[in-house]
Amino acid sequence: MDNLETYSFEEAYDASLKYFDGDELAARVWVSKYAIKDSFGNIFEKSPEDMHWRIANEVGRIEKKYKNPLSVNDVFELLDHFRYVIPAGSPMTGIGNVHQVASLSNCFVIGLDGDADSYGAIMRIDEEQVQLMKRRGGVGHDLSHIRPKGSPVNNSALTSTGLVPFMERYSNSTREVAQDGRRGALMLSVSIKHPDSEAFIDAKMAEGKVTGANVSVKIDDAFMQAAVDDKP
């Protein structure tokens, strides 16, 4: 790996600009986010053509394990100029990447089997979220299992704080994880039936509170029917 050719940002940008027929935004985004780099900032790919050969070589290596494999050239032709196959962002960076430990999937939905409404379970979810994000994965998980605010608990607090403080925890963890110069990506959801669902929405709307996560409320047919019928 010591003998691999490296390129300056300007060299990679100029080659990518030509590749993208003068599209400055596409060239800059590709070099910044998808060209292979090491932790010292060395760039090892000059244009998306290099990236597509890297992906084709790795896919071709795996194809040889099966009957009627696609050749490296076959795979490259599918990828070239994003003509037929456009990999997601994480696979574009991760496939065949020997310089980083990177995810081969863009997004993950996580959770625990069984009882997940405890500090230990909440910490395990937080750790799993961070481990996935540091490898460039986006994460989504549901908070409907967390007891609503004021529920009795068997510790010194006596009552639950509800789900909003844990929204903030997960949000802060997301902001702390750097992914090649950008923060992690997080989606938090909750059932409309959860007693804290309104507070869940308000927390996202409060300036500076939950800045590292997008939020989604899961609604059901009964809720929509009540809305149509103008019933509480």
Q: Is the dihedral of CA 177, 124, 146, 219 positive or negative?
A: positive
Exposed, middle or buried: residue 93 (CB in 10 Å: 0-12, 13-18, 19+)? buried
51-62 tens-digit pLDDT? 999 999 999 999
Residue 43 has φ and ψ, to the nearest 5°, of: -100, 130
Closest CA to 60 of 80, 45, 74, 81: 74
This prediction has a pTM of 0.76
Cα–Cα–Cα angle for 223, 229, 232, rounded to 5 degrees: 55
Closest CA to 180 of 127, 133, 129: 133
CA–CA gap between residue 70 and residue 56 (Å, rounded): 10
Residue 142 has φ and ψ, to the nearest 5°, of: -100, 145
Question: What integer pLDDT is reported at residue 102 of this predicted model?
Answer: 80
Question: What integer pLDDT is reported at residue 57 of this predicted model?
Answer: 96
Give strand pairing partners of 141.
188
Determine how many CB atoms are found less than 10 A away from the CB of residue 8: 11
What are the residue ranges spanned by the domains of the chain?
9-94, 107-228
Question: What integer pLDDT is reported at residue 18 of this predicted model?
Answer: 96
Element (H, E) at 78: helix 72-79
149-207 tens-digit pLDDT? 888 777 776 778 889 999 999 999 998 886 555 667 899 999 999 999 999 999 988 88
> What is the arithmetic mean of pLDDT over 58-79?
95
Contact 129, 170 (CB under 8 A): yes
89-116 tens-digit pLDDT? 888 988 999 888 888 888 999 988 877 7
